[in-house]
């Protein structure tokens, strides 16, 4: 099924909820108003629909291939990457000083959603490059930024993150890769890194690996980790990638999904040591790597939105074409397209509501990020920085878990044909599974939400969020429409459930940590659904106002109906989730470990 970029819904969220017109008034974003956004999204849509999307199934059936240390990408990917780079898409959100376009994250996130919807495996390469650029922008020296960033922005080079080792998954205290200082200020690295996305390929001239390693004599644990730039090819005096470095791909993984994205095992230092360059100060590598990880975690959340959109589009197209059974209300004597059956409508509306809610959540976070960096009021910058930090684990955790549900429902809509590979529905579920795992599992995001984002500030940001939701509740109460009244009822109950959980976390975080962390993932999913529902409520109010103006009635009525469905079928479940968190820890602790 052909992919169609959801530009209209994206622009609605960006303009009406993200207030792009206000973003364009802030220093540095003056040329990034609604007209610019529409032009950029339309151009991105052409690339995604015409170039990247047709290669999605091709990559699933013809994965990247390893041959004696070299990785050959899926046929067509190299040419597609050239078009992606030539269009300037890698530099969309990066500073103009290094060849980027310096656009707001609000625009960049919408474009990234399209790229990931079109071809998730392909999109992972620029995603990791973005992370490498972010790390160098924040922690690299001026010389390092000038040496490495422009070539990544223009697509001649790509970037990776190298954290994981065979014995060190999420526990980075166990990292053993070592770095030996040399007399010229460089280091030589020795060790093995696994799960390196696009760690070896033939799309670009060079690959810039960002590698965690220990310098001799460094403290034990995470405090003794440093970050290094280790390129595949060492640049010469003119900046050309010429001399092969001692880093080699010894294999790539055979995976459930994202098969066209090579996941490499990289060996450093088999032939005397891989030359690397320290980023920032020794023993602060984890701090710097978290910059990359935070950028990547948000981007993976956007991948969840993208997967949901693609699975939904496929399911709707199939439901309109597949003729099966007479309608239960007797309105036709013959079999009808399955989209007329109530349960299929329920599944499709669930997919649609969750997709639109996830998109609104992700773009609300993007708007907060832009405000945190560019708002003219320092107080607003700080408030939005805290808000964005709180939202990142929600975007990553909630949107990716939702994509699994949406992709699974997509297969269910197809019935038996969904289980058959030729329809393509199964690929979305297989691809979606990794999203809740890499860049920190959902449990890791939930631990972050509890420890760093709730306990650390005494619930200050969570309470601030609840106050913003309450403001929208008041607007709903004043609306007077039946849909607004229903949304008001559900949103109020959801906010109260959220605050009950926040208070439970604050009260028992230190005295009963096992009880609190047992409910950490449900807390994350509750918070994610609340913020998504809040944004859907705001969308409902805007759509009702536009209807009164007679603006785009079909779209606005659909937006209202989707928001109402989200209220009645998603927000309605949150009080029950609250009860499971607050009252359910004892049931979990009742089972002795030996009884499992």
Closest CA to 92 of 126, 52, 55, 138: 126
Mean pLDDT, range 514-520, rounded to an integer: 97
- Per residue in 488-520, is it b (16+ CB within 10 Å) or e — as a string? bbbbbbbbebbbbbbebbbebbeeeeebbbbbb
Task: Give the pLDDT confidence score for residue 242 in this predicted structure.
Answer: 87
Average confidence (pLDDT) over 17-45: 96
173 or 569: which leads in pLDDT: 569
Q: Give the pLDDT score at 239.
A: 85
CA distance 576 to 586: 16
480, 546 Cβ separation under 8 angstroms: no
pLDDT of residue 169: 81
Distance CA(203)–CA(217), nearest Å, equals 38
Yes or no: say if 264 and 196 are a contact pair by the CB < 8 Å rule. Answer: yes
- Residue 444: which residues within 8 A CB-CB, separation 6 or more? 170
| pLDDT tens readout for residues 397-427 | 999 999 999 999 999 999 999 999 999 999 9
Q: Mean pLDDT across the stretch 467-490?
A: 96
Q: Dump pLDDT digits (tens) for 218-236.
A: 999 989 999 999 999 999 9
DSSP assignment of 109-152, as one string? Answer: HHHHHHHHHH-HHHHHHHHHHHHHHHHHHHHS-HHHHHHHHHHH
pLDDT value, residue 292: 82
**CA atoms within 13 Å, Cβ hemisphere of 486:** 18
The pTM score is 0.97
Average pLDDT of the segment spanning 259-282: 97
% of the chain surpassing 70 pLDDT: 100
Radius of gyration of the chain, Cα coordinates, nearest whole angstrom: 24
pLDDT for 289 equals: 86
The better pLDDT of the pair 431, 480 is held by 431
pLDDT at 354: 98
d(CA 497, CA 578) in angstroms, rounded, equals 6
How many angstroms separate the CA atoms of 337 and 425, rounded?
18
Cα distances from 415 to residues 251, 320, 463, in angstroms, run 37, 14, 44
What digits encode the pLDDT tens for the residues 552-570?
A: 999 999 999 999 999 999 9
Q: What residues act catalytically?
A: 439
- Model pLDDT, residue 237: 84
The confidence band for 79, taking pLDDT boundaries of 50, 70 and 90, is very high
For residue 171, the model assigns a pLDDT of 83
pLDDT tops 90 at residue 272: yes
Phi and psi angles of residue 414, each rounded to the nearest 5 degrees, phi first: -75, -15
Q: Has residue 156 got a pLDDT over 90?
A: yes
């Amino acid at each position: 099924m052909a992919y169609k970029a959801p530009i209209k819904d994206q622009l609605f969220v960006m303009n009406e909820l993200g207030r792009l017109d206000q973003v364009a008034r802030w220093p540095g974003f003056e040329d990034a108003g609604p007209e610019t956004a529409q032009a950029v999204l339309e151009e991105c849509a052409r690339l995604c629909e015409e170039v990247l999307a047709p290669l999605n199934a091709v990559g699933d059936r013809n994965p990247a291939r390893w041959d004696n240390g070299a990785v050959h990408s899926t046929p067509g990917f190299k040419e597609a990457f050239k078009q992606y780079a030539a269009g300037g898409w890698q530099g969309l959100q990066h500073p103009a000083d290094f060849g980027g376009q310096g656009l707001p994250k609000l625009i960049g996130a919408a474009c990234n959603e399209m790229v990931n919807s079109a071809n998730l495996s392909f999109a992972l390469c620029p995603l990791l490059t973005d992370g490498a650029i972010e790390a160098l922008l924040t922690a690299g020296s001026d010389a390092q930024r000038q040496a490495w960033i422009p070539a990544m922005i223009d697509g001649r080079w790509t970037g990776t993150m190298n954290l994981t080792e065979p014995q060190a998954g999420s526990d980075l205290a166990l990292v053993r890769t070592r770095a030996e200082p040399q007399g010229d200020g460089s280091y030589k690295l020795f060790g093995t890194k696994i799960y390196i996305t696009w760690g070896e390929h033939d799309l670009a001239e060079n690959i810039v690996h960002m590698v965690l390693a220990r310098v001799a004599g460094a403290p034990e644990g995470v405090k003794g980790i440093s970050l290094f730039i280790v390129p595949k090819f060492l640049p010469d005096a003119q900046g050309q990638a010429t001399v092969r470095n001692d880093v080699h791909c010894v294999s790539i993984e055979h995976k459930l999904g994202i098969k066209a994205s090579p996941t490499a095992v990289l060996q450093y230092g088999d032939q005397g040591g891989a030359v690397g360059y320290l980023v920032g100060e020794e023993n602060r590598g984890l701090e710097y790597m978290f910059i990359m990880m935070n950028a990547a975690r948000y981007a993976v959340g956007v991948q969840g939105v993208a997967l949901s959109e693609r699975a939904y589009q496929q399911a709707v197209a199939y439901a309109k074409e597949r003729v099966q059974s007479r309608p239960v209300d007797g309105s036709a004597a013959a079999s009808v397209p399955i989209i007329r059956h109530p349960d299929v409508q329920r599944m499709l509306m669930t997919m649609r509501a969750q997709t639109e809610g996830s998109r609104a959540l992700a773009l609300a976070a993007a708007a907060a990020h832009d405000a945190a960096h560019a708002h003219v009021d320092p107080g607003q910058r700080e408030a939005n920085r805290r808000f964005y930090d709180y939202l990142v684990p929600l975007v990553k955790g909630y949107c990716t878990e939702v994509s699994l549900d949406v992709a699974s429902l997509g297969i269910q809509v197809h019935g038996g044909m969904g289980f058959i590979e030729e329809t393509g529905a199964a690929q979305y579920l297989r691809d979606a599974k990794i999203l809740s795992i890499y860049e920190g599992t959902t449990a890791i995001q939930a631990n972050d939400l509890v420890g760093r984002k709730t306990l650390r500030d005494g619930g200050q940001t969570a309470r601030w969020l609840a106050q913003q939701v309450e403001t929208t509740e008041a607007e709903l109460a004043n609306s007077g429409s039946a849909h607004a009244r229903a949304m008001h009822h559900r949103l109020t109950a959801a906010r109260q459930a959220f605050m009950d959980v926040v208070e439970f976390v604050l009260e028992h975080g230190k005295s009963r940590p096992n009880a609190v962390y047992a409910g950490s993932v449900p807390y994350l999913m509750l918070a994610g659904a609340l913020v998504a529902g809040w944004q859907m409520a705001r969308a409902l109010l805007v759509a009702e106002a536009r209807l009164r103006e007679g603006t785009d009635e079909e779209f606005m009525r659909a937006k209202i109906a989707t928001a109402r469905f989200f209220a009645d079928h998603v927000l309605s479940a949150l009080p029950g989730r609250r009860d499971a968190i607050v009252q359910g820890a004892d049931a979990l602790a009742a089972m002795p470990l030996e009884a499992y």
